[in-house]
Amino acid sequence: MNAKEIIAQRVAQEMNDGDLVNLGIGLPTMVANYLPAGVRCFFQSENGIIGMQPLDGPGSALDALTDAGGSPTSVIPGAAAFDSVASFGFIRGGHLDVTVLGGMQVDEDGMLANWMIPGKMVPGMGGAMDLVAGAKRVIVAMTHTAKGAPKILKKCNLPLTAVRRISLIVTEMAVIEPTAEGLVLREISPEVTVDDVKAATEASLIVAPDIGVMKLAA
Amino acid sequence: MSKVSSLSKAVEEIPDGASIMIGGFMGVGSPLKLIDELIRQGKHDLTIIANDTAKPGFAIGKLIDAKAVSRLVASHIGLNPETQKQMIAGEIEVELVPQGTLAERIRAGGTGLGGVLTKTGVGTVVAEGKQTIDVDGDTYLLEKPLIAQFALIYAWRADHFGNLQYELTARNFNPPMAMAAGTVIAEAGEIVPVGVIPPDQVETVSVIVDTLVGRED
C-alpha cells in the first residue's frame, strides 16, 4: 500500500454513519473509497451538490455535473443541487460534520497553512478558508514530509488558512491530535517506530500513554 | 415582451472597461457563447468577477488568453497557469476572495445589504485592512458588498420573459450574480414559451433579466 492509500484508509475510519463530509481535491477524494462497512456518508462538493459519488465507469457523465476540481462526477439517488450561497451556508453554518483537506504545513498550535507559497505559488484559497473556519471537524490528510523536509512544524511560516485548531492530522506515518497542550501522537503506522515519527517531525510530540498502531487492511 | 436578442447585439452594449460578473465553476455553468462574443468584439480592459478563470482555452480562460482582463476578483486561479503568469507580470490585478465570502459579497450586493459578517479569514492575510466586529463574544470580518455593471449568466432553460432555471452544478454563482448587476444578460440552453416553467420552479425571476440569448443563435 502506498502512502496515499494508507492515509485515505485511516481517515475513512474517522467517518460516522450519516455524516455530511467535504473531501478536498486530490488525496482527500480517495477517502470515499475506504469507508468502513455500514458507514454511509453524504459527500458535499462545494460547487453545489450534496450526495456526490464517484463516477462508476464512463458513459454516465453529464456536462452539468462536476466535482470541485471541474471533473465529471455522479450523484446518489436523493442527492440535492444548490447554488454557491447555499453551499457555503452548509459549510459555515455548522452543518458540515467533517472536512478533509491536504496540508502544506501544520504547527504545534494546530494551525494549518495550505493555500499559498508567497512569490511561488498563488492558486487562491478557493473554499479552503471557509471549510477550515466552518466545519465541525477538520482533518488534514497529508504526507508526513515533503521531499524529506518536515511539514509538521513548531510554527507555520506560510500564510495560515484559518486561525482555528484543526481536529486531526493523518499521515502515512502517524495519527496526531492537536490539543491545547500540544500535538499528541495517538497512533503510528505498523511500519515505523515512535522515534522514526519524531525524527520526521519538527514540532514537539506528546506521546499518548495509550498510543496504538494504525489498523490497516493488507 | 420577449427579451430574446441576437448574440452580437446583446454583447455590443457592454463597453470596454466594464465590470462584469460571469457565472460558472471551472467553466461549468459559464455562458460560453457570450464569452466568445466578448472576444470576437475585441472587448478589453474588463473587470471580471467570477469564482475562477477555468483553464487556458476554455470559458473565462479564453478572456485571459485574449488579454481582455485588467482586473479580476476570484477565489481560485490555481488551475489556470496563464492567469497566474499575467498576475505575476503585473498585467492583471487579482483580488483573491474566499469562495464563501465571494458568494456572500455578491448576495449582499444584490440584496441591498451593507456587507456580511463572517468568521472566514479572521486572523489571516484576508483580514488585512478590514474591520472586525465582535458579536456576542465571537469575532467576525466585515466583508463589503460586490456589484457589477453587467452579469453574464448561463441558464439551463429560460422562458421569453426571462425566468431562469439551472441544472445541477452549472448553477453555482449564477443565481446570486443575476441579482447583483445593473444589466443581466442570460444565455439559455433552451428558450420556451411563457407559462411552460411553473412559478414554483422559477429560480431567477424574469424581472431582473434584461436580455436573453439562445444557445442556438
Q: CB distance from B98 to chain A under 8 Å?
A: yes
Note whether residue B68 is domain-resident. Answer: yes
Determine whether the interchain pair B120/A84 forms a contact, defined as Cβ–Cβ distance below 8 Å: no
Tell me the residue length of chain A. Answer: 218
Confirm or reject contact between B57 and chain A (CB < 8 A).
no
Residue B133 falls inside a structural domain: no
Give chain A positions within 8 Å (CB) of B166.
Answer: 83
Which of the pair, A61 or B72, is modelled with greater confidence? B72
Asked whether residue A218 is assigned to any structural domain, the reply reads no
Provide the whole-model pTM: 0.96
B140: in domain: no
Domain region containing A42? 3-56+65-213
Note the pLDDT of residue B215: 79
Does a structural domain hold residue A169? yes
Is B63 a residue whose pLDDT tops 90? Answer: yes
Average pLDDT over residues A176-198: 97
Q: Report the pLDDT averaged over residues B149-167.
A: 98
Residues 6+ apart with CB under 8 A from A71: none
Nearest CA in chain B to A130: B120
CA distances for B132 relative to A113, B140, B200, angstroms: 22, 5, 39
**B153 pairs with which residues across the strands?**
B186
Considering only residues A13 and A121, tell me which one the structure prediction assigns the higher pLDDT.
Answer: A13
Q: Is pLDDT at A120 greater than 90 in this prediction?
A: no
**Using one digit for the tens of pLDDT, what is the confidence trace for A20-58?**
999 998 889 999 999 999 999 999 999 999 999 887 766
Instruction: Say whether B134 sits in a helix, a strand or coil.
Output: strand
In a domain? residue B130: no
The residue of chain A nearest to residue B127, with distances taken between CA atoms, is: A162
Give me the residue label for grid cell 483537506.
Answer: A101
Asked whether residue A138 is domain-assigned, the answer is yes
Q: Per the domain annotation, does B165 fall within a domain?
A: yes
Q: What is the DSSP string of B25-81?
A: BTTBT--HHHHHHHHHTT--SEEEE-SB---TTSTHHHHHHTT-EEEEEESB-TT-H
Residue at A200 is within a domain: yes
Residue A152 included in any domain: yes
pLDDT for position A26: 86
Q: Do A84 and B101 touch (CB under 8 A)?
A: no
Domains in chain B: how many in total?
1
| Percent of chain B whose predicted confidence (pLDDT) is above 70 | 99
CA-nearest of A55, A87, A68, A85 to A26 is A68
Q: Which residue of A has its CA nearest to B78?
A: A123
In a domain, B33, yes or no: yes
Q: Taking residues B185-201, report their average pLDDT.
A: 98
Residue with cell 458535499: A44
In a domain, A83, yes or no: yes
Of A81, A91, A159, Cβ closest to residue B168: A81
The amino acid at B109:
G
- ipTM of the predicted assembly exceeds 0.90: yes
Whether A151 is in a domain gets the answer yes
Span B194-205, pLDDT tens digits = 999 999 999 999
Domain containing residue B86: CATH number: 3.40.1080.10
Reading the block at residue A106, the C-alpha cell is 501544520
Q: How many domains are contained in chain A?
A: 1
Task: Give domain status of residue B141, yes or no.
Answer: no
pLDDT greater than 60 at residue A59: no
Query: Under an 8 A CB cutoff, do B103 and A163 touch?
Result: no
Q: Please count the other Cβ atoms lying within 10 Å of the Cβ belonging to residue B87.
A: 17
B183, part of any domain:
yes
| Res A54: pLDDT | 81
- pLDDT-above-70 percentage for chain A: 97
For cell 477524494, the residue is A29
The residue segments making up the domain with residue B73 are 7-113+146-214
CA dihedral B79, B85, B87, B88 (to 10 degrees): 130
- A124/B100 touch (CB, cutoff 8 Å), yes or no: no
